[in-house]
C-alpha cells in the first residue's frame, strides 16, 4: 500500500455523521447537500432514458448535445465558452482528480487556500505532490478573509498548481473580481496553473454582479490561460446523488483529459446526462428558486445563531453554510459529537477542513423546511455548555427565559 494512502485521514465529517445516522431524533446538517429531491422533470428524463434502453457506454468527454448545452449555459454567464473546452465528468470530485492527474506529477508544489473541503487537499497528496496551504483568517465578526499579498508571495515559479474554492466550503468566503485579476496576472507571470472549484458560483447573495453569480475566473481569463474550472450539477440543480459535473479548460488540454477519463470512469452514465440536459433546459425554473430559498435559509439561521450568547457567526456571501464557533469550545470534533448526543443536532467539525478551522462548526442551511433550522438552534441553546454561557450573559431569570425562548 502506498504511504500517501496510508497517511490519509478518515473523514471527520463522516465520523460525526456515523454517530447520528439512523437516529430519528437527530437533525442532520452535517453534509453539504439540500434535503430537497431533484426536480420531477429531471428525474423523469433519467427514468425515460433507462426505459429507452440507454444503458451502454458513451463518449469519454460526454454526450455532444450535453457538451453543447453546458457550453451555452456557461457562455450566458461568462462570455463564450466553446464545447471544445469542455469535458463531462462523473461529479465534481471526479473532475477535480482528473484535472490534478493531468496537471501535477509526484514532487510538484501545490498551493491551496484553506480551510477547504478536504478532498481538495487530499487529492494532491494522493498524487505525491508537496502541498503548501495559505490560510484564510476570520475577522472580529466571524467573516473569513484572504491575505492576498501572502497568497501571491506563496506562489512562485516553483508552484505548479494553485487550488482555490470560491465561494468557499466551509466558510462562505468569496473571491472578488479584483482579487481574481491579481491572482491570474501573478500566475501568468510564474507559469502556475489555476484549478478553480466554482461549484457554488450560483449560490451567491451579494447581488453585485450582472449575472447574479459569484465572480468567476472565466469572466476574465483567455481560453488558452493555464486555468481549469470545475463545475457540478449537484448544488444548483439539486442533483447531488446523480454524480455529474464538468471541466472547462484550454482547448488543447481537452483530448488529454479524454484519455484520463477513459482510464478513470470511461464515461458518465447516459441516463444521468439525459437528466442534466433537462435540468439545463429548465435552469430558470430551477436555479433562481433554489438561490432565493437558500438566501432565506441563511437569513433565518444566522441571526438566530448570533442571538445565542457566546456564538460567533456571519452572513456568508456565498455557498450554503453557516460557519460558527462557540466561546470556550476549542475541540470541534468533540463538540460536534456532543451536539449529536446531547442536542440531536448534526454539524460538521471545523477541523475536518483545516487546522486553522479548529473550534469552528459548519452548518449546512440547505433545508426545505426553515423550521428545522429554528429547531436546531433551540436544541443547541439547551445544551449544558450553551446554558452556562446564557446564564453568564443573562443573570436575571426572566431575561434568561426570554433569551432561550
One domain for residues 218 and 325? no
pLDDT digits (tens, 9 = 90+) for 337-356: 999 999 999 999 999 999 99
One domain for residues 227 and 350? no
One domain for residues 172 and 192? yes
One domain for residues 201 and 59? yes
Q: Structural domain of residue 244, as residue ranges?
A: 40-283
Instruction: Look up residue 340 and give its three cell numbers.
Output: 449529536
182 has a pLDDT exceeding 80: yes
> How big is the CA angle at 85 (ends 79 and 87), to the nearest 5 degrees?
120
What's the gap between Cα 393 and its chain centre?
35
The last residue of a domain, from among 261, 283, 305: 283
**Residue 395 belongs to some domain of the structure:** no
One domain for residues 185 and 74? yes
**Residue 256 belongs to some domain of the structure:** yes
**Residue 374 belongs to some domain of the structure:** yes
275 has a pLDDT exceeding 90: yes
R_g over Cα of the chain = 22
**Residue 404 belongs to some domain of the structure:** no
- Considering the chain, what is the average pLDDT of its residues? 94
One domain for residues 120 and 11? no
Instruction: Look up residue 143 and give its three cell numbers.
Output: 467573516
pLDDT of residue 385: 57
Q: Tell me the β-bridge partners of 79.
A: none
- State the pLDDT confidence band at 380, using cuts at 50, 70 and 90: confident
- Contact status, residue 60 vs residue 267, Cβ threshold 8 Å: yes
**Residue 57 belongs to some domain of the structure:** yes
One domain for residues 268 and 379? no
pLDDT digits (tens, 9 = 90+) for 62-110: 999 999 999 999 999 999 999 999 999 999 999 999 999 999 999 999 9
146 has a pLDDT exceeding 60: yes
- State the pLDDT confidence band at 317, using cuts at 50, 70 and 90: very high
Question: What CATH number is attached to the domain comprising 123?
Answer: 3.40.640.10
One domain for residues 212 and 317? no
pLDDT digits (tens, 9 = 90+) for 203-236: 999 999 999 999 999 999 999 999 999 999 999 9
Question: What CATH number is attached to the domain comprising 348?
Answer: 3.90.1150.10
pLDDT of residue 392: 53
One domain for residues 195 and 264? yes
**Residue 373 belongs to some domain of the structure:** yes
- CA–CA distance, 62 with 273 (Å, rounded to integer): 8
One domain for residues 278 and 237? yes
**Residue 30 belongs to some domain of the structure:** yes
- CA–CA distance, 164 with 107 (Å, rounded to integer): 20
One domain for residues 150 and 236? yes
Give mean pLDDT, residues 112-141: 97
What's the gap between Cα 203 and its chain centre?
10
> How big is the CA angle at 96 (ends 264 and 68), to the nearest 5 degrees?
80
- CA–CA distance, 47 with 114 (Å, rounded to integer): 39
pLDDT of residue 2: 93
pLDDT of residue 381: 80
Domain count, the chain: 2
390 has a pLDDT exceeding 60: no
Instruction: Look up residue 38 and give its three cell numbers.
Output: 431533484
The last residue of a domain, from among 238, 262, 283: 283
**Residue 403 belongs to some domain of the structure:** no
Instruction: Look up residue 140 and give its three cell numbers.
Output: 472580529
365 has a pLDDT exceeding 50: yes
331 has a pLDDT exceeding 80: yes
pLDDT digits (tens, 9 = 90+) for 1-57: 999 999 999 999 999 999 999 899 999 999 999 999 999 999 999 999 999 999 999
One domain for residues 135 and 174? yes
The last residue of a domain, from among 283, 316, 342: 283
pLDDT of residue 389: 46
Amino acid at each position: 500500500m502506498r504511504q500517501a494512502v496510508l497517511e490519509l485521514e478518515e473523514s471527520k465529517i463522516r465520523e460525526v455523521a456515523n454517530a447520528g445516522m439512523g437516529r430519528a431524533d437527530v437533525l442532520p446538517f452535517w453534509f453539504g447537500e439540500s434535503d430537497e429531491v431533484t426536480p420531477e422533470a429531471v428525474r423523469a428524463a433519467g427514468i425515460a432514458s433507462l426505459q429507452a434502453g440507454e444503458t451502454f457506454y458513451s463518449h469519454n468527454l460526454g454526450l455532444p448535445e450535453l457538451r453543447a448545452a453546458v457550453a451555452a449555459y456557461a457562455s450566458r454567464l461568462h462570455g463564450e465558452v466553446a464545447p471544445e473546452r469542455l469535458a463531462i465528468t462523473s461529479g465534481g470530485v471526479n473532475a477535480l482528480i482528473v484535472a490534478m492527474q493531468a496537471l501535477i506529477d509526484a514532487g510538484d508544489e501545490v498551493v491551496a487556500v484553506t480551510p477547504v473541503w478536504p478532498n481538495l487537499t487530499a487529492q494532491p497528496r494522493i498524487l505525491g505532490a508537496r502541498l503548501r496551504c495559505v490560510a484564510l483568517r476570520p475577522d472580529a465578526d466571524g467573516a473569513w478573509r484572504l491575505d492576498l499579498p501572502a497568497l501571491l508571495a506563496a506562489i512562485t515559479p516553483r508552484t505548479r498548481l494553485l487550488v482555490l474554492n470560491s465561494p468557499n466550503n466551509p466558510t462562505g468566503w468569496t473571491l472578488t473580481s479584483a482579487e481574481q485579476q491579481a491572482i491570474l496576472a501573478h500566475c501568468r507571470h510564474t507559469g502556475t496553473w489555476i484549478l478553480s472549484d466554482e461549484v457554488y458560483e450560483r449560490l451567491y447573495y451579494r447581488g453585485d454582479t450582472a449575472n447574479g453569480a459569484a465572480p468567476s475566473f472565466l469572466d476574465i481569463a483567455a481560453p488558452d490561460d493555464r486555468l481549469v474550472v470545475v463545475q457540478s450539477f449537484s448544488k444548483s440543480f439539486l442533483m447531488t446523488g446523480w454524480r455529474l459535473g464538468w471541466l472547462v479548460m484550454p482547448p488543447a488540454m481537452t483530448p488529454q483529459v479524454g484519455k484520463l477519463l477513459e482510464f478513470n470512469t470511461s464515461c458518465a452514465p447516459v441516463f444521468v446526462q439525459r437528466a442534466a440536459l433537462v435540468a439545463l433546459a429548465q435552469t430558470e425554473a430551477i436555479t433562481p428558486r433554489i438561490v432565493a430559498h437558500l438566501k432565506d435559509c441563511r437569513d433565518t439561521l444566522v441571526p438566530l445563531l448570533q442571538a445565542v450568547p457566546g456564538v460567533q457567526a456571519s452572513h456568508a456571501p456565498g455557498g450554503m453554510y453557516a460557519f460558527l464557533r462557540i466561546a470556550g469550545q476549542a475541540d470541534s470534533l468533540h463538540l460536534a459529537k456532543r451536539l449529536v448526543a446531547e442536542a440531536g443536532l448534526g454539524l460538521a467539525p471545523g477541523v475536518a477542513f483545516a487546522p486553522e478551522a479548529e473550534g469552528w462548526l459548519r452548518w449546512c442551511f440547505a433545508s426545505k423546511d426553515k423550521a428545522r433550522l429554528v429547531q436546531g438552534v433551540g436544541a443547541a441553546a439547551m445544551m449544558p455548555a450553551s446554558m452556562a454561557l446564557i446564564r453568564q450573559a443573562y443573570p436575571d431569570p426572566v431575561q434568561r427565559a426570554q433569551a432561550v425562548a
